[in-house]
Amino acid sequence: MRLTNSDLAVLATSGIRRFNALANSYPGCVKLTLGEPEFDTPEPVRSAVSKSLAEGQTHCPPNNGKLDLREALSAYMGEQGLSYAAKDIVVTCGATEALSSTLAALIDPGDEVVVPVPAFGLYETIVRSVHGRVCFLDTAPSGFAICEEDLRAAVGKSTKAIVVTSPNNPTGCVYDSESLNAVAKVASETGIYVICDDVYNRLCYLDGYERLAVSHPELREQLVVVDSFSKPWAMTGWRIGWLAAAPALREQIEKMHQYLISSIPAFVQDAAVVALGLDPVEMRETYRRRRDYVCERLHAMGLPLTRPEGAFYAFPDVQGLGMDSQELCERLVREAGVACVPGECFGSAGYLRLSYCVSDDDLKLGLDRLEGFVSKLLP
């Protein structure tokens, strides 16, 4: 029998899914594993689907997205300081497909992509599945910031791109001006592409939040902005996102997109237009409040933590607990009834990720169980 994709074959299945599945096998286990908002999709968005279906919007729309949605996205991004015409926006099957299309369009076999870690494991999976190589840039020693000296050392002749995620998954940290300037300076000098995975940008708690694509317009020709409806409007199951890029770059990515999917359902796109007009302030403030609660609880447990400034994750340091985070997370499920995700799944051993996009009651119960387990391990 002939072998399958050799690069894909050596990759492990998603650690997030694996630990969520383990938790499902233990009834009553509190799952702090997934990055899925517990909020319902706003009612106006759901009603828009009913209206669209009643109007017969069930046929395939244009592959790159309905014009009214792309025009709405252009206006929405313009309000955020990003200038992209409707023709340079591609509506995608979530941010996952946007990233897949982008990286597949950019990478030749052997090309390298710099991924600052800790990071969402999807980036490595996509890069390696198209026979690229990943260069991990460890940001933990610099407090989860991007150091220019370290970035320069990571970029070589084979480097094709860097992925920047801010707010970050799994840390919740936001890159400051110094980090963004480091990326911009190195990218400008070397010509590498910059992929901004901005899916958490509406869930940032920091005043004066700075997006790389806004603060560094000089990178426009080599930059791709990826965004999604999943997080800020609780539309994870709707599978709709978008990307924006300068014409020459967008044309190549759009070519890949055309072969990956036919189109996003028309009625979903109609609902997305409605979502753009809704401010997710309630969700953002809920997560801000929970962030404060989680930080307080973890501090009381004696677990070091860099304070998250966005998204809905905490990434405490568990190196002082006498075991690796993989074993720790397995024991937490089996012995304490709470599920988290080990830092190894994000390229950073010695940490664990817990999500606070669950109900207040589940969050308290999960943290109570975590505290009970940790208290037995610390002096």
Classify residue 1: in a domain, yes or no. no
Q: Which residues share a beta bridge with 112?
A: 133, 159
Q: Are residues 31 and 116 in the same domain?
A: no
The string of DSSP letters for 79-98 reads: HTT----GGGEEEESHHHHH
Classify residue 84: in a domain, yes or no. yes
Q: What is the pLDDT of residues 81-92, one digit of tens each?
A: 999 999 999 999
- In contact, 90 and 222? CB cutoff 8 Å: no
Count of domains observed in the chain? 2
Structural domain of 358? 6-41+280-375
Q: pTM for the complete prediction?
A: 0.96
Classify residue 195: in a domain, yes or no. yes
Q: Are residues 83 and 28 in the same domain?
A: no
- In contact, 63 and 88? CB cutoff 8 Å: no
CATH code for position 336 = 3.90.1150.10
* pLDDT at residue 129, as a whole number: 93
Distance CA 315, CA 9 (A): 29
Pair type for strands 193-197 and 223-228: parallel
For the chain, give the mean pLDDT. Answer: 96
Range 38-56 average pLDDT: 97
Q: Are residues 255 and 218 in the same domain?
A: yes
Range 204-228 average pLDDT: 96
Q: Are residues 147 and 59 in the same domain?
A: yes
Among 276, 298, 330, residue at a domain's last position = 276
Q: What is the pLDDT of residues 124-163, one digit of tens each?
A: 999 999 999 999 999 999 999 999 999 999 999 999 999 9
- What is the number of residues in the chain? 379
Sign of CA dihedral 260, 167, 272, 39: positive
* pLDDT at residue 8, as a whole number: 82
Q: Which residues share a beta bridge with 225?
A: 196, 244
- In contact, 98 and 242? CB cutoff 8 Å: yes
Distance CA 214, CA 13 (A): 35
